Structure 1
Amino acid sequence: MPEPETSKPEAAVPDVHAHDATLKRLEKSSGSLAAQAIARMDETLPWYRAMPPENRSWIGLVAQAGIAAFTEWFRRPDAPQAISTDVFGTAPRELTRAITLRQTVEMVRTTIEVMESAIDEVAAPGDESVLREALLVYAREIAFATAQVYAQAAEARGAWDARLESLVVNAVLSGEADEGAVSRAAALGWNSPEHVCVVLGTAPDGDSELTVEAIRRAARHAKLQVLTGVLGDRLVVIAGGSDNPLAVAKSLIGPFAAGPVVAGPIVPDLLAATRSAQAAAAGLKACSAWQDAPRPVLADDLLPERAMAGDPSAREQLVEEIYRPLEEAGSALLETLSVYLEQASSLEGAARMLFVHPNTVRYRLRRVTDVTGWSPSDVRSAFTLRIALILGRLADGDLQS
């Protein structure tokens, strides 16, 4: 029987690159190309010359890695992930904060220009157009890789900033603001404005990030600094840069959901913002008692409702800012105001009960306005004054007991 034929193994085909000569010359010149790129940056980029030596050395490593990555890509352009963000992996993550995206683009452009100017020298005869085309494709891909690196850094920084901002807002609202909160706010760009207030309202349904971004846009338009966040169903804004809390609330009211929006009083700094936040929170809770309340409304305009809702700071403020000054101004003012608000419905009626001329009552009521800032002839102010009288008498009774 004939012996079966045995197939002979095929000879191994050597892995020879189509442009082996150019590849070898590219590998040989990669070090000098990187040095030329660094020299060009030092010559043409002022920001590079001004950087600390450590950062410049990291940029040099990035340039070398970029040229080495091009060499590897030229060897195997069809390999998966031939070009990736690994070019930037030689540098620490902090470098993305030390140099801007624009500066990185300038660095990449300079390196590509140096490589492009050396094509005639590096490419083997006949490979000039091939190497030039490869460099163009590589430049496009490295541009996408650069954008990806900075996009990832921006996303990470954005997520971290959002957590920091939430911590600061929560600390202010809960009364736990301290120097640590001030430091975190400074890291977010808060530069300690002289006038600060807190605005509270209902947060809209949907993505809270969109709401926060809308607040920031409104703040930029109004030239305000803000720290903001959505806590539960409440939208909280700590605003700095204006001594008019009502104007601040009006400029930021757009992103709030329907319902009351309350602005706390002006305080000097972030550490004192807890007082403004607590007043705004108490006002938001008591606002339903004033059906005709404007939107937005000041927390101080809700003092009587806040006091009746059990807010001790509102009770104290009414006593200290209305009742005590009237008491110190003389008993005639307290007596006249009490008769006018509680027993008479007119100047003439109060004058008859007090046995004085109506002009005397008119003068005393003007003095009440001068002393307290609240006018007895205005319905809303009269209500506030009457609550202050009641609370003042209760406070005096407690002192006597």
Structure 2
Amino acid sequence: MTTDSTDAPPTDEAAVRAETVRRLERAMGSLGTAAVARMEQRLSWFRSMSAEDRSWVGLVAQSGVAAFVDWFKHPDRGRPAIAVEVFGTAPRELTRSVSLQQTVEMVRVVIDVVESRVTELAAPGGEQQLREAMLRYSREVAFSTARVYARAAEARGAWDARLEALIVDALLHGDREEGLQTWGASLGWSRTPVIAIAGLLGDQDAEEVLADLRARARRSGHDVLAGVQGERVVVVVGVNDQTTPDPMAAATPLAGLFGPGAVVVGPPVSDLRAASRSARAAVDGLRAAPGWPDAPRPVAAEDLLPERALDGDRDARRRLVEEVYLPLRDAGTPLLDTLAVYLEHASSLESTARMLFVHPNTVRYRLSRVAELTGFAPADGRGSFVLRIALTLGRLAERG
């Protein structure tokens, strides 16, 4: 009785490998199918993926098996080019759908499927040879996986940084506002209200400062965009109002990361599209901040209206006239006259009363009305300064 040569046990290592390769090639399709079925069974995240992403993962698994068989068939090639042969089949977006940890789990499943069939797949006497090859291959897959995700993260980080810089530039220049929401969405932006913060870089490293600002803001649950323009750092924060109901409070932990000098916070706005108003106010406030060296840090851009007005900020001038001067004027001449005399006579109740021929209590009452209408107390040093600037600007606006 004769024996079929294809069923006879191989007699040397090369022959054993050749027979194992033949068995692997016959089983490639079933191995890939079994790997996908095992993923469906063991990996909950795989079951919850979209059909398209599952199909791409399945293709990666099939490619991994095929690449292993080809590499096992040609051991003289050295290290396998796994990044191209396996991961090159999937779109770049897959690295966003599947995390590094999930990819490691997927590789383990594929290896487990092959290992469970070593006795069937290996030629007689070739079991150890196949196991050692699988061990080496799985190690190369692990290294290649890490490299693929590292490159994707690096590319994503570089793209995010460029996009952030573009958004910050658009906000400051007030153009391309129709695209801001789309750009923000691509960065995962969802929080409101939105504030802008401006400060100086100083002698710090720009990339380190931006990284620290982003990390600290995100630890508090805020969305954040940051960019450097020369010596100026501008940060746009989507405030998590569940943890930080006061938008100004979101800026306080970030202030210490800026360089020396003022840190100015723009007014809160409803969304990213409207953030240009907050960003421009913050930058205008930063430019005018040297006029108030004792300002708190951070300081609201709204609190720098007089310095901004003196620095030529038209919006600040308009707001001081509309929000301070006009309410006083519309309330009647006695309030304006009383305030003007009070400011001119060193904030003295008695001197003001004598000049106006009224009782000091009348002066006191009128000044309290000024504070109610404007939010600034004439007896307060800072309040009197704001009122004096607003009074002067209002008179200039009404000349002629």
Q: TM-score scaled by structure 1? A: 0.90
Corresponding position: 1:109 with 2:108: yes
The match for 1:257 is 259
The one-letter code matched in structure 2 to 1:84 is I
Which of residues 226, 251, 262 in structure 2 aligns to 1:228? Answer: 226
Alignment check: 8 A CA contact 2:198 2:234 kept:
yes
Which of residues 40, 50, 53 in structure 1 aligns to 2:51? Answer: 53
Which is worse superposed, 29-38 or 111-120?
29-38
**C-alpha separation between the residues in 2 aligned to 1:375 and 1:391?**
18
Number of residue pairs matched?
383
* 1:178-219 Cα distance to aligned partner (Å, 9 max, x none): 1211210111111151x2221101124454332221011221
Change (3 A) 1:363 1:297: same
**C-alpha separation between the residues in 1 aligned to 2:29 and 2:238?**
53
The match for 2:3 is none
The match for 1:95 is 94
**C-alpha separation between the residues in 1 aligned to 2:383 and 2:62?**
75
* Structure 2: gaps of 5 or more residues: 1-12
Alignment check: 8 A CA contact 1:245 1:263 kept:
no
Paired residue secondary structure (1:267):
coil
Alignment check: 8 A CA contact 2:160 2:187 kept:
yes
RMSD: 1.9
The one-letter code matched in structure 2 to 1:76 is H
Alignment check: 8 A CA contact 1:321 1:372 kept:
yes
Paired residue secondary structure (2:237):
strand
**C-alpha separation between the residues in 2 aligned to 1:333 and 1:49?**
73
Q: TM-score scaled by structure 2? A: 0.90
**C-alpha separation between the residues in 2 aligned to 1:114 and 1:222?**
43
Cα deviation, residue 80, structure 1? 3.9
Corresponding position: 1:215 with 2:213: yes
Cα deviation, residue 257, structure 1? 0.9
Q: Which runs of at least 4 in structure 1 moved beyond 4 Å after TM superposition?
A: 15-18
Change (3 A) 1:252 1:17: farther
Matches within 5 A, 1:2-401: 16=14, 19-86=17-84, 87-193=86-192, 195-241=193-239, 244-397=246-399, 401=400
**C-alpha separation between the residues in 1 aligned to 2:105 and 2:293?**
60
**C-alpha separation between the residues in 2 aligned to 1:172 and 1:205?**
25
* Structure 1: gaps of 5 or more residues: 1-14
Alignment check: 8 A CA contact 2:16 2:125 kept:
no
The one-letter code matched in structure 1 to 2:314 is P
**C-alpha separation between the residues in 1 aligned to 2:375 and 2:100?**
55
Cα deviation, residue 381, structure 1? 0.8
Which is worse superposed, 291-300 or 73-82?
73-82
**C-alpha separation between the residues in 1 aligned to 2:297 and 2:15?**
75
Change (3 A) 1:212 1:118: same
Paired residue secondary structure (1:154):
helix
Paired residue secondary structure (1:201):
strand
Paired residue secondary structure (2:49):
coil
The one-letter code matched in structure 2 to 1:91 is A
The one-letter code matched in structure 2 to 1:101 is L
**C-alpha separation between the residues in 2 aligned to 1:46 and 1:375?**
63
Cα deviation, residue 16, structure 1? 4.6
Which is worse superposed, 206-215 or 329-338?
206-215
* 1:310-338 Cα distance to aligned partner (Å, 9 max, x none): 11111111111111111111211111111
The one-letter code matched in structure 1 to 2:180 is A
* 1:343-384 Cα distance to aligned partner (Å, 9 max, x none): 354111111111111111111111111110001111111011
Alignment check: 8 A CA contact 1:62 1:90 kept:
yes
Question: Identity over the aligned pairs, expressed in percent?
Answer: 56
* 1:24-54 Cα distance to aligned partner (Å, 9 max, x none): 2222222221121122122222333333333
Change (3 A) 1:29 1:279: same
**C-alpha separation between the residues in 2 aligned to 1:197 and 1:177?**
19
